[in-house]
Structure 1
């Protein structure tokens, strides 16, 4: 019997699941407060007078109160849908929350307009007050962003129409996943019907025949769903491009860069350094192919385990392994993670009906988080668990900040999660005495590097080119397959055998409406965490406090200023990124030396 529960507890958030009366009451309160805020802002707009400090403070307080509860509600619904994709009541609640979010965004548009209209001197005087100091960055950011958008009434209309249009298409992915059925043949010859989450775990099975059969079935089923996926993806991109055009935005990257608080120069410097580091990873992938006894790695071989990595690790053992590694870096991080394991904040059970993938979502009102994954005992599962706990710890150290100061971007969120992965992987590698264990751990690190340097780059190339082509019209499923395969072969520097053409259909990240280009922030987070980790190793245990200070500032700075303040480095030039890439280069060289015979 497990020490730690493998099913999460949502009852402590809102009792009753998708039938929760408490949750219905919460949504009612949020709706009333949004309507009151919206009415107050509309009245101010009609009056036409410049807002004073009192009104700005009242509106800001209301915005933060609603934001806190809306984030809690969004997380609750996301958890309900993830644990059972066919929960019809949860689907209805999701629509209700999306509608509330659209109303809130409409009110925020009016709020932002009032921020924009405020006289510069009055604005600075108000921000200098004690109540707004911690959220000054977020308020300035909103004020500047208002100058880049359409008039408030048009932005509000776009947001309202997006509920059943843009966001509706995004939610349709859950319907598609719910339809997907995968047939698997067990060693004893029995056939099983698996969900997408269960089938995905089989793609990295230690037995290549299992991987091959699973990948063929994965491609077959996603090929069956491809027309629905293509329609969905085209509509999502079409909505974005039309809205961007109305705003006068020329680049599809403008919004994701703004959302990630980073410059295009930083993005280009990062990808340039990645490109310089890829030849070393090619050497690793070629060596791995030889070790697996094949000429070239197919897609399903890239994450295949070698050596003892094929061992199934029980959940409790994985938990203890992670906690021990966290404790060596920060007792506080370990203590928090122990709470997450012990108090059933983690949904890890391998069962039908669950959504594929993994995520961490925060409940800022409750001061808790929830982690979702399907644990089957693989090395990749352990990495995912550490990764999501890194996200959870990031939110934990920010729980006492005002809601607007907790709104950190995806790229720094991925920094915290990847840093946690790195703590686990590197400390385990250093402690390993057995060459076979050392090889297994080193290879797991290089799998992560390959994912961030090549897989994520393929996604970025695909999405960038897809948006360029989408301006000219809809793309068919076959065209999207070709675009995906071309991106994969380029990103993997021609080292792949069989590619994964339907990857665009199977991957949730392409269908998320809250964050466009859900790809490059992963690579940013990985490399930024590499640079942070290098500093942490130099400084030792004292760095844990600096790390927490950096995390607490992630909602109050752009990434260039964050890196300059806490690390003393520039991100819009190549040096920092090359240094981060060099850690992977050293891992490759160690791997080649260890496998030379």
Structure 2
């Protein structure tokens, strides 16, 4: 396979050992101190112009903080076993926590302004940001409490996230006398060889079981931490803070969950019955759920082929999006190489508007990897376009963020389907797409239900690994149906999913995005006037417009 790309972080600093970092750290502390002296306890006496200026100063300071934070994370996430990089990452986290303590007062005082003062800001370019800030007003605590929460996060949720990541990076899975990484063994679960899939699944489950105490301990502490903050802030549910940040009502999420679960039998169960039949059995083994169909050969796609497939798809839709996607390749904004200590999975990190997004994938040459690349480029393009709004207004709620990524997948799938050469290729692509959609919608909602039940039960006391595994198996059996055998160590498979630890209740955003993309793509196929222009406004808007307004095509 062609040498896979690694990203170039020199748009931040020459290296993580650069003396420029210390210079910026010192400058940041001075900026934060001056900001506090200039504005603390003074917002209520500022005129409209100076109030808007204060927001501009806050935005500059926050962007500088997040820039350094982004560099530290991107340096660390591809080499988590490097002791010096791990120390650097932790050092930056702790230092920035001290800096941010000096700015905590600002959003609290903004939310205490009277209506007349607040209206000045609502008439500025920061209108949507201020309106969203107002929504968290009743959940904000005093500056003293908020400061303690920030300081303690270093040794609470952030610490458990780091421990989980370090644990996964260090795990080795025994596979046929070799020790391989999580990324490598998960890739084997989609091998065309049924014996490879089985051996990989058994090894994966066995290793999770051997380490289940650690994963159970982390899950319990993440859940308890969430419950403490829920009670402290006055949220009704553990998931409430997620909905607030996503700018979505719980009733809309409940409606999504109800609709998806109502269709488990008609879509999910029916598909696995169909697949089991083609595998010559009544029930699929769980390691065959995402397996290629019998007689399918392992298809190897080179990095250059994947790049061409994805770029052709974006260019086929719109030249502007194609040019932006190409920039990620040309300027080394993508890290695709697999290495020990690198984070598994994939993401697009927005960093800050003065820089640009960076994309991480673990490319192994399968059609799934091509779709993942298309997905993350959708995120990257979205983030790149939204940067024109400035730091505070570039951020997008997860419900919309997943729309651009899933739309990118759809473009790539449609392009591949259009260019397929025969019936077998079409069948392969259609089956792959059906499984992608099941994993994006039904599986993610099953994950969400699992999280709901775990956090609800955790309120009453610590959960054992058997408790968590019971909840996991219940959600999985309900979603997958009777045609998939979920036995043996599959009950421990909840333990490796990072979203449960990194960002509780994130997962429904995938389902939301997929459903929305299906609706958007049908509009595209209907040739509604100026669709491309209207669609591009969606990612370009960033956080400036509520999604209900921007989606009126």
TM-score when scaled to structure 2? Answer: 0.94
Q: String of CA shifts for 1:512-553, please: whole Å, max 9, x gaps.
A: 1xx331211111111111111111222279322111112223
Decide whether the 8 Å contact of 1:458 with 1:488 is kept in 2: yes
Q: What's the secondary structure of 1:75's corresponding residue?
A: helix
Q: Distance in 1 between matches of 2:331 and 2:500?
A: 32
Deviation readout 1:301-339 (Å, 9 max, x if unpaired) = 222123657311111111111111111101111111112
Aligned residue for 1:62, secondary structure, equals helix
Which residue does the alignment assign to 2:145? 154
- 1:202 aligned partner: 188
Secondary structure, in 3 states, of the residue corresponding to 2:530?
A: helix
Q: RMSD of the TM alignment (CA)?
A: 2.2
Which of 386, 389, 400 in structure 2 is aligned with 1:412? 400
**Residue matched to 1:581:** none
Asked if residue 301 in structure 1 is aligned to residue 280 in structure 2, the reply is no
Instruction: Quote the residue 2:260 is aligned against.
Output: 274
Alpha-carbon distance between aligned partners in 2 of 1:236 and 1:491, rounded to the nearest angstrom: 25
Please say if residues 102 and 159 of structure 1, whose CA atoms lie closer than 8 Å, have aligned partners that are also in contact: yes
User: How do 1:502-513 and structure 2 match up within 5 A?
Assistant: 502-512=492-502
* Alignment deviations for residues 453-507 of structure 1 (CA, whole Å, 9 cap, x no partner): 3221221111100111111111112221221111111122343212532222111
Runs of at least 5 residues in structure 1 that lack an aligned partner in the other structure: 186-190, 568-597
**Contact 2:403–2:516 under 8 Å retained in 1:** yes
- What residue number does 1:348 align with? 336
Report deviation, 1:434. Answer: 0.4
CA contact (8 A) 1:50 1:118 kept: no
Residue in structure 1 matching 2:163, options 156, 165, 172: 172
| 1:51-450 aligned within 5 A | 51-103=46-98, 106-128=101-123, 132-133=124-125, 135-185=126-176, 191-278=177-264, 279-306=266-293, 308=296, 310-450=298-438
Question: Cα gap change, 1:66/1:398 in structure 2, threshold over 3 Å: closer, same or farther?
Answer: same
* Alpha carbons 2:353, 2:391 under 8 Å: kept: no
Measured in 2, the distance between the counterparts of 1:493 and 1:101 equals: 48
Q: Deviations over 1:370-392 (max 9, x none)?
A: 11121111111111111000000
Shift of residue 104 of structure 1?
5.7
Tell me if the contact between 1:80 and 1:87 (Cα under 8 Å) persists in the aligned partners.
no
Partner of 1:578: none
What TM-score do you get using the length of structure 1 for normalisation?
0.87
Between 92-101 and 278-287, the greater mean CA deviation after superposition: 92-101
CA distance in 2, matches of 1:540, 1:100: 51
2 CA distance for matches of 1:258 and 1:376? 37
Indicate the larger mover: 376-385 or 97-106.
97-106
Partner of 1:492: 480
Distance 2:143 2:130 in 1: 17
Deviation string for 1:423-450 (max 9, x for gaps)?
A: 1012321332400110111011111111
| Structure 1 ranges of 4+ moved more than 6 A | none
Does the CA-based 8 Å contact 1:5-1:342 persist in structure 2? no
Contact 2:5 / 2:336 at 8 angstroms: preserved in 1?
Answer: yes
* 1: CA distance, partners of 2:26 / 2:513: 37
Deviation at 1:211, TM superposition (A): 1.0
The worse-fitting range, judged by mean Cα deviation, of 428-437 and 65-74 is: 65-74
Alignment coverage as a number of residue pairs: 549
Which ranges in structure 2 are unaligned for 5 or more consecutive residues? none
Distance 1:383 1:491 in 2: 24
Q: Which moved more, 1:23-32 or 1:83-92?
A: 23-32
